[in-house]
Structure 1
Amino acid sequence: MSLAAAATAQAQASTSNFVAEHLKSPDDLSKIVALRKKLLKEQATLDAKLKSGAKEQLEATREGLLKLQATKKDMAGIREAFAEIEALADGADSRGAKTKGAEAFAIITEVSQIHRNFVQTATMLQKLSALPGQVDELSVWLEHDQEDAMGPATYLLPLHFHLSKLEAFRNETVQTARRSAAADVQNQIADYFAPLDNLVKAFEEHLFALGRNIMDLAREGRTNVVVKVLKIVDKESKEDEKAAAIRLAKKANLEGASRFRSVVANARVIKLYRPKVLGGMERAAKELFEEAWNRFAAENPMGLLNNLDWIYKDLELVKEEIAPLFPEDYNIFRWYVKAYHKILGTMLKDRILATDPEASSLLTLYQFTKEYESTMKQELGVDVDWLKPSLLGGKEQEIIDDYLSLIIKKIDEWSANLMSDEVRAFVARENPPDEDTEGLYGMQGAVILFQMVNQQMDLAADSGQGSILTRAIDHACKAMANCQATWMRVLESEFKKQYEAKNPDEIVGGLVEYVIALANDQLKSADHAEALQNRMEPLVSQKYKVQIREAIDNAINGFLDVSKRCTQVLVELVFADLRPAVKELFQFPAWYAEGTTTLITETIRDYSQDYASHLNPNLFEVLQDDMIERFLLAYIGSLRKCSRLRMPGAADRMRQDTEDVMTLFTGYGREEEMKEKLEVLNQIIGLLTASSTMAFLSYWSFAKAHGPQLAFVEHIWRQRDDLERSDVAAIMESCKRKVAAEGLTEIPETGATIVHRAMQAYSASASTGGAIGAASSLFANVVTKVGGSMMDTATAAGGSGGWRGLLGGGGSSGSGASRIPPSA
């Protein structure tokens, strides 16, 4: 689009906006006349201003053109004058011969050059003769300043001023000699200037020493000395730049380069004072760090980290006192920060990190780097880019990972060693388990395990990272799970040995005591795990609380599973002794006459008394539930297996058995709960005593509680010697029709009942040929499933601590140091 078109479009847009602004309603049309007059007036004003401006611009342009013409005339005149001078200098006439004036000009030029040479020679001789005295005097000045390294440096600037002149004289003299003088003359000149060279060298050493001590000078209040040093460095840096620029210009044959004094430029030695002074300052900083290392880290490298506060004080001094003395282009505060940062980082990486420090040292190192960066940024206002790369070269996360790996390694090592010792003691059973003041058996495993775990978790918490603590807890819980799995295997192995032993001499005694101790120990571990959870959760955010809770809940669940299995084994050990008696249940004549169940209940009572004395009360309640479950499985299973029931003797004996069992289990409390569990025996007695006309009513109350169980009920009625088979068939037909009509399922909605589980055991015994072994296996599976849901139920009911309520409340006791002989 052209400029005219653009201007037209803009004008149209402006006009539209104007009309839209002033003509907003029909009433505004009456204002058009007034608006037109206003616009004409504004147009006249603008036209007048434009005419006046155009006139002024025209006058300025005319004046500029006149000045350009005058300048052009002046340039032409100058050019003509130079041409005349050049013609006079050449002195040639029309025939090409030199004029007298030209010859005279050449003679004058030669005489002037000779005069200048004489003056320069005289001046050089004068300077050469005065040089030794000047060197001696300047040496005295230098010695005076060197006597007090932290003094006012009175002669520093005068020394530099005079030495600079002497150096320039030396450089020109040496350069001139190199062009025209013989080698022996050059050697003589070099020898003559040797004292000056030594003095210059000593001066530079003194200057660089002051540069190295800039921090100390500022600390002593000698900021004026710092300024003198910087003035000298700045002066020499500019001279270096000037000489280097002349050399580069001459080398590149740039226009005008030949006009510079090549002698001075070529003779000067580039001194590079600025990088040398900065290098000395860096070496001084390294010496500071080296001194700190020798003082604080000679025996313990980590001691250095506790004695580095001087870094912040030094940098504060630089920021407040030294930085204002330096030219801005030095950025001296940034320079010091980066120098200290680099030196410290190298020292930490090469002297601490490279030595494979322990976990606590790694954490201390990591925390120091974080505090260091925070202090630098917040207190000193350091730019984050000045601290790159980080002190540890970006290995901070790697350090944390190594730290976590060391924690994990310790957990694995200690838990493996602990389990090795504990399992060895459990299997050998050379000494009785520990017993606390309350008489409860116990082991040292729980205390030692959680001492170790808490120690390592504290180290993980010290990292200040929720992810590290969570990962450490998760691994600790996995280690606990491994311990639990080991105990399960050992427990099953030792129980199997005892259960299958043909001769008592083949087994090691004391298994009961050690199983009790293990059960108590595992419950105690659940307490410790819950305490760990309560202590660690507040240290992390909600994100990690969920993970920690889940991991520890699983660990608690595992401890409860082991405790539960221990109670099962204790129950099975009882019934292992009762195998002969269980076989006689419902058998003639033993069960009818000799009171087989009385023998069973008395044996259970003896075992229970021992268990109650040494088993945690919460676990004893669980054991009682397991014991009654196991008894009912055996009792009902024997009933299902019997071949004949002699009535009414069988009913009378079963009533007496029920009373004996009720007396046994209600003796340990929870009377109503025990009666509810044993109610199934009364229902079975009802089936056993019902007449043919009343049998259906007894069955239906039984079926509603335990499911149809038609095979079991039919077996009981068929084995009764007081019922005819035809009556039994008729009753069963009625029962089957009722069950079908009501839609009763084999397992009630409330879950599998004891009768159902007993029938499962009976079915298993029919296939394996061992009723007692099948009942034992079924019992273990059943109570494991029931116990496995304990943690889930407790968590849903009241958090991870809710499992205590399911066990009856209260915690486990610690194990003491006293010993008792194992019971029989």
Structure 2
Amino acid sequence: MGEPAESAISSLADLLRYPDDLAKISSIKERLVRDKAAIDLQLKSGVQTQLDITKNGLKNLLDAKALVGALSSELVNLHIFCAQAEKMVPGFSQINRVSKVRRNFMAVEDVMRNLQELPAKLNQMEALIDADGKDIFGPMTNFLTIHYELSRLRDFRDQAMFQAARSSEDAKRTLQKYFTRLDNVIQEFDDIVFDIAQNLLEVLREGNSSLIVRWAKVIDLEERLDTKVKILKSASESHMELARHLSMSSQPTGMTRALRNYDDRLTECIKLGAKDVFRNCVSTFPDDPSTLLDNLYWVTRDILFAKTDLTKCVPANWKITNRFVAAYHQELYVLFKSLVSKDTEAGLLLKVVRWSQKYNDTLVKELEIPQEQLTPPLLDGQEEEILGDYMRLICRKVDEWMTNLQKTEYNEFIERVQAPDVDPESKYGLANTPIVFQMLNQQINVGIDSDEIRVVAGVIHECKRQLLVRQQKWINVVRDEIQKSNSAMDEVPGGLLEYCIAVANDQVRGADYTENIITRQINVNVDVLVHSDDDRNTQTRMVQELEDAMDGFIATAKSCMLEMVGMVMFDLQPSFANLFKNSWYTSPVTTTAPDGTITSTPASLVIQEVVRTFEEYNSELTEHFNPDLFQIYIDDLLEATLVSYLSAISKNKGASLSARSLDQIKSDVAIMYPFFTTFTDSEHVESQFNGIEIFMGLASSDKIGAIEGFRALKENFPDAPLKFVEDVLRAREDLDSKSVKEYMEAVRSECASLIMNPTTDRRTYMSRLYI
């Protein structure tokens, strides 16, 4: 839909804003028709006026053409009449020759007299020049006098050289020698003229506006005389037929004058002056481009000075402001070309783009310089590409710094020469994590400084990528070190548990740091860069990326805890290998009180050893582990313990279940249960220990009990495998293989729906029994 149509719809929406407005459609239509008729009348009147002006213009052009043709015809007729008059006057040819001889004689006398007076006049000019002292910042009171006298001498020289054009070479060389000194004095004066032209603004700033006005009169006069010569030559060339009829014996006044091109040389001097000013500025800051940019404020200042002050001293048709704009802009273009390269640092690139934008806005909006005069664009219209380079430079720096930091912290973890850092709350941590986020915040701030939300988004994306890479690397390093420790404990450095705690704690710190970036940077600092729906979507996407990084930190912390739990369970493999075997059984400890009361305390050497190991680890964990992570660790340890306990019935060779086994299991539970309820919610522990309770039921029940046991198992643990029931039944000493088969057929038959349509919406530790 075009812009006019959109405008019409918008206007119609304003007129019909409310339902009641529909009743006014007739009156609105009449008003619009009247408005349209009035506009059509205005347009018709305007078009007619322009048509009349155009017709009058064409008529005037035709009249002028006819007038020029008539004038040319009259001149030709005049020449014919003159030629006919020669025949009418007796002896006209002799009279004409005598007249020519007299004119030539008088011309020769003028040349001789001027040549004789030339040395004295040159002495006078040199004295006046010396009196002014060639100081362009001084008053130079003789400036116009010198120019006037030199102009007369130059005209005499040009006339003499023109008349000598048909003379011998010796005569020309002799005449040129006479004028050598004049040429030198002219050159000396021209040097002053163009020295002023090259330093116009400086001369004006010194308060010497009088000299600028007199200088401008000189340039203007010379340019008008040059224009006159050009017009005469152009007329002579374009009216060759008329010139032939006129049979001119001498050139018209001014035709002998050599072009001096002061105006063109003025433009070149302004360019040279700009080049000198820029060269001096660059040489002042040869190795500091950032400071150089800070000290280019004089560019717009000079252009403003030329526009407001210099224009008052020179003719308006010079368009002096445009000349300064062109000269300064070209020098800026060259300078910026040299500043922007592949090796330019990010901060300088941003500064260049910002300076360019501010310069353009100042000239166009404040100084009202037309945009088309600022060509070529300072950065060739590559601001977007440069901002992209700026973003990539930041990302490259982030990558370099993160890579170097990661090498250091991974080596510290692997070598474990010294203990991890400890915060004021005695929690372990890594020294480089605060440095990582300090660096990321700095680079995000650098991106924000660009005032471009796309740049910030690119930096945030790179930060997220680096954090995810770092998280995955920590997962791999922790896993590898624990595997090395499990395979060859004596060959690895100590302190592995402490460093694992530090890594896990740091993931929580990393999530907090990331949340601070979202809160303080993205939702506050970046919010000022949001100017459209696309910008708002970009901001939302940045928040989502950082939230993904936060999720990654939590996942990494959980992975570290699982690896730590795995390390603990690896140490306990020998203990769990004795479960449900003869070495597992331990008689209860019986004690007699003074009053004769006999009490029996559950005893289980295997589980006691397991719990003692847990307590040894916990002595380190409770003091130095993040409390929230410790709670998750306990939950993971509980599940891992139950998995190792229940899976032992199928994994341990020679494992069996008897009536005596139930008492031993109860003794094990009596030791394990209190340990876990000390650190976590008792209801949660009880729900997890339901697996052992169901296990005990399967270890002693009849066929109906086995069916109910499987149902209870699936109800509490939907992902529990049927194989677990079969392994428990096979381990029972009171069942032979035939009975086991019957039990399993009954379970399959009665619980077919549970087996065929398992519920997988909730994962429990039962799914890990056979991993």
Matched position secondary structure for 2:579: coil
Matched position secondary structure for 1:102: coil
8 Å CA contact 1:176–1:263 kept in 2: the answer is no
Residue 89 of structure 1 corresponds to 86
Matched position secondary structure for 1:262: coil
Residue 240 of structure 1 corresponds to 226
8 Å CA contact 1:172–1:263 kept in 2: the answer is no
Query: Quick check: 1:591 aligned with 2:591?
Result: no
Shift of 1:273: 0.6
Residue 551 of structure 1 corresponds to 545
In 1, the alpha carbon distance for the partners of 2:125 and 2:382 equals: 55
Residue 673 of structure 2 corresponds to 662
Aligned pairs for 1:162-201 (under 5 A) are 162-180=149-167, 182-201=168-187
**Cα-to-partner distance string for 1:558-604 (whole Å, 9 max, x where unaligned):** 33333222111211111111111101111125235454223222222
In 2, the alpha carbon distance for the partners of 1:401 and 1:177 equals: 69
**Cα-to-partner distance string for 1:141-188 (whole Å, 9 max, x where unaligned):** 3333345523444333333333222222222223223424x5444444
Residue 531 of structure 1 corresponds to 516
Which residue of 385, 406, 409 maps to 2:396? 409
Aligned pairs for 1:254-269 (under 5 A) are 254-257=240-243, 261-262=250-251, 267-269=256-258
**Cα-to-partner distance string for 1:648-672 (whole Å, 9 max, x where unaligned):** 3222222222222210111013222
Shift of 1:704: 2.7
Query: Quick check: 1:518 aligned with 2:503?
Result: yes
Which residue of 726, 730, 736 maps to 2:748? 736
In 1, the alpha carbon distance for the partners of 2:216 and 2:459 equals: 56
Shift of 1:624: 0.9
In 1, the alpha carbon distance for the partners of 2:194 and 2:561 equals: 84
Change in 2 beyond 3 A, CA 1:683/1:268: same
Structure-1-length-normalised TM-score: 0.74
In 2, the alpha carbon distance for the partners of 1:206 and 1:83 equals: 51
Residue 762 of structure 2 corresponds to 751
Aligned pairs for 1:644-683 (under 5 A) are 645=656, 647-683=658-694
Residue 815 of structure 1 corresponds to none
Change in 2 beyond 3 A, CA 1:225/1:646: closer
Residue 289 of structure 1 corresponds to 278
Residue 569 of structure 2 corresponds to 575
Mark the runs of 5 or more structure 2 residues left unpaired by the alignment: 1-69, 530-534, 588-603
Residue type matched to 1:240 in 2? D
Residue type matched to 2:399 in 1? D
Shift of 1:271: 0.9
- Which range moved further: 136-145 or 515-524? 136-145
Residue type matched to 2:330 in 1? K
**Cα-to-partner distance string for 1:781-823 (whole Å, 9 max, x where unaligned):** xxxxxxxxxxxxxxxxxxxxxxxxxxxxxxxxxxxxxxxxxxx
In 2, the alpha carbon distance for the partners of 1:82 and 1:519 equals: 112
8 Å CA contact 1:249–1:257 kept in 2: the answer is no
In 2, the alpha carbon distance for the partners of 1:625 and 1:561 equals: 15
Query: Quick check: 1:218 aligned with 2:228?
Result: no
Shift of 1:711: 4.0
8 Å CA contact 1:747–1:753 kept in 2: the answer is no
Query: Quick check: 1:604 aligned with 2:614?
Result: yes
**Cα-to-partner distance string for 1:473-499 (whole Å, 9 max, x where unaligned):** 222322223323332332222222222
Matched position secondary structure for 2:106: helix
In 2, the alpha carbon distance for the partners of 1:533 and 1:638 equals: 48
Residue type matched to 1:656 in 2? S
8 Å CA contact 1:360–1:459 kept in 2: the answer is yes
**Cα-to-partner distance string for 1:41-75 (whole Å, 9 max, x where unaligned):** xxxxxxxxxxxxxxxxxxxxxxxxxxxxxxx9xx9
Change in 2 beyond 3 A, CA 1:88/1:600: closer
In 2, the alpha carbon distance for the partners of 1:114 and 1:646 equals: 153
- Which range moved further: 698-707 or 718-727? 718-727
Residue type matched to 2:211 in 1? V
Matched position secondary structure for 1:256: helix
Change in 2 beyond 3 A, CA 1:726/1:359: closer
Change in 2 beyond 3 A, CA 1:374/1:85: closer
Query: Quick check: 1:359 aligned with 2:369?
Result: no
User: Which one has the largest radius of gyration?
Assistant: 1
Which residue of 272, 276, 280 maps to 2:261? 272
Matched position secondary structure for 1:269: coil
**Cα-to-partner distance string for 1:12-52 (whole Å, 9 max, x where unaligned):** xxxxxxxxxxxxxxxxxxxxxxxxxxxxxxxxxxxxxxxxx
Which residue of 317, 327, 330 maps to 2:305? 317
Residue 479 of structure 2 corresponds to 492
Residue 716 of structure 1 corresponds to 728
8 Å CA contact 1:658–1:682 kept in 2: the answer is no
In 1, the alpha carbon distance for the partners of 2:726 and 2:200 equals: 109
Residue 370 of structure 1 corresponds to 357
Shift of 1:419: 1.9
Which residue of 626, 630, 635 maps to 1:620? 630
**Cα-to-partner distance string for 1:494-530 (whole Å, 9 max, x where unaligned):** 22222233xx433433222222222222332222222
Change in 2 beyond 3 A, CA 1:710/1:559: closer
Matched length: 669
Change in 2 beyond 3 A, CA 1:614/1:224: same
Shift of 1:718: 5.2
8 Å CA contact 1:717–1:728 kept in 2: the answer is yes
Shift of 1:355: 9.2
8 Å CA contact 1:348–1:392 kept in 2: the answer is yes
Residue 207 of structure 1 corresponds to 193
Change in 2 beyond 3 A, CA 1:133/1:84: closer
Residue type matched to 2:123 in 1? D
8 Å CA contact 1:457–1:469 kept in 2: the answer is yes
Residue 348 of structure 1 corresponds to 336
8 Å CA contact 1:436–1:442 kept in 2: the answer is yes
Aligned pairs for 1:104-123 (under 5 A) are 105-123=92-110
Change in 2 beyond 3 A, CA 1:660/1:192: same
Query: Quick check: 1:460 aligned with 2:447?
Result: yes
In 1, the alpha carbon distance for the partners of 2:80 and 2:135 equals: 66
Residue type matched to 1:330 in 2? W
Query: Quick check: 1:308 aligned with 2:302?
Result: no
Residue 564 of structure 1 corresponds to 558
Residue type matched to 1:208 in 2? F
8 Å CA contact 1:582–1:634 kept in 2: the answer is yes
**Cα-to-partner distance string for 1:716-770 (whole Å, 9 max, x where unaligned):** 3454445688876666555434323x55656435423333432xx1xxxxxxxxx
Query: Quick check: 1:330 aligned with 2:318?
Result: yes
Shift of 1:627: 0.5
Matched position secondary structure for 2:240: coil
8 Å CA contact 1:706–1:748 kept in 2: the answer is no
